[in-house]
């Protein structure tokens, strides 16, 4: 389908690669050594039938903000509110459908409130950002930023590079944006220019633009910039354009739920240039 649309990739990376694991672990370790994280033990949802702690996206329930009954444990896709699993009304496991129980577990958190002043100043200085993006950012800032877990209890993912952290992996929204960096590292190595990735991520003249979906604004405008700022070696995005959700027959377009216009079906009726 991509080929028929005239789309090609300079490089197609995966967050399961060794390079991504190494770059993500190095990023985590630098922040850890700078004292950027809070370590604590608290109760999190556990699915006894599946025998595992549940990451945010493995939990659904009713949004306490708007009443949407299919909200995820980290965000409501209807109203856009940033959530924590414990805020959900009538939470249920996506694995078994059962109501999860609370059990104690140890994790590392990034205190986003520490960066609230800087984030507000940085976001207020963006003159060309879309109003919907600025609106969401300011709404979160006005509501006060809470700490966010950067690790999870999962059997897959990038292992936390600390002693005594067996069974812990990096939270997907901590290591996924680092994947943009690691993919650039892999691409540069592939073309025979191992230092070439630095032009994209460490040159002050670089204009870094994140084209994303509305539900990812909080991660690309709040969490990832805070991570980059704390690390100190990377440029920040100059723009983060995000569109509103598309509706199909009155429901939100969602590939994960199979409610979408698929590329190969589009090409059966329309020309790619349209």
- Give residue-wise pLDDT tens across range 83-103: 889 999 999 999 999 999 999
Query: What are residue 114's phi and psi, to 5 degrees?
Result: -60, -30
pTM of the model: 0.82
* Averaged pLDDT for residues 22-30: 98
Question: Is the per-residue pLDDT at 55 higher than 90?
Answer: no
What are the strands, taking DSSP E only, across 96-191? 101-111, 147-149, 151-153, 168-170
Confidence of residue 2 (pLDDT cuts 50, 70, 90): confident
> What percentage of the chain exceeds 70 in pLDDT?
100
Comparing 225 with 154, which gets the higher pLDDT? 225
pLDDT of residue 273: 83
3-state DSSP assignment of residue 207: coil
Confidence of residue 230 (pLDDT cuts 50, 70, 90): very high
Distant-in-sequence contacts of 127-131, Cβ < 8 A, 24+ apart: 128/239, 129/239, 129/240, 129/241, 130/241, 130/242
């Amino acid at each position: 389908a991509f080929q028929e649309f005239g789309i090609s990739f300079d490089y197609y990376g995966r967050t399961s690669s060794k390079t991504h694991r190494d770059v993500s672990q190095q990023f985590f370790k630098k922040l850890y050594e700078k004292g950027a994280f809070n370590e604590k033990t608290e109760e999190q949802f556990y699915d006894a039938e599946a025998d595992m702690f549940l990451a945010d996206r493995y939990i659904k329930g009713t949004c306490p903000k708007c009443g949407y009954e299919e909200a995820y444990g980290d965000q409501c896709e209807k109203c856009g509110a940033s959530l924590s699993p414990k805020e959900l009304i009538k939470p249920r496991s996506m694995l078994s459908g059962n109501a999860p129980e609370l059990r104690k577990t140890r994790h590392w958190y990034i205190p986003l409130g520490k960066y609230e002043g800087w984030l507000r100043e940085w976001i207020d200085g963006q003159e060309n950002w879309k109003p919907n993006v600025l609106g969401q950012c300011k709404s979160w800032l006005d509501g006060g930023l809470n700490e966010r877990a950067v690790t999870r209890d999962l059997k897959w993912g990038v292992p936390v590079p600390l002693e005594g952290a067996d069974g812990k992996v990096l939270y997907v929204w901590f290591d996924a944006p680092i994947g943009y960096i690691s993919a650039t590292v892999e691409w540069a190595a592939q073309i025979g220019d191992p230092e070439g990735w630095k032009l994209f991520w460490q040159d002050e003249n670089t204009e870094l633009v994140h084209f994303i979906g509305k539900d990812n604004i909080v991660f690309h405008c709040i969490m990832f910039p805070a991570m980059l700022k704390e690390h100190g070696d990377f440029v920040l995005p100059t723009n983060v354009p995000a569109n509103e959700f598309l509706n199909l027959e009155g429901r939100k377009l969602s590939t994960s739920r199979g409610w979408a216009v698929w590329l190969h079906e589009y090409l059966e009726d329309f020309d790619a240039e349209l």
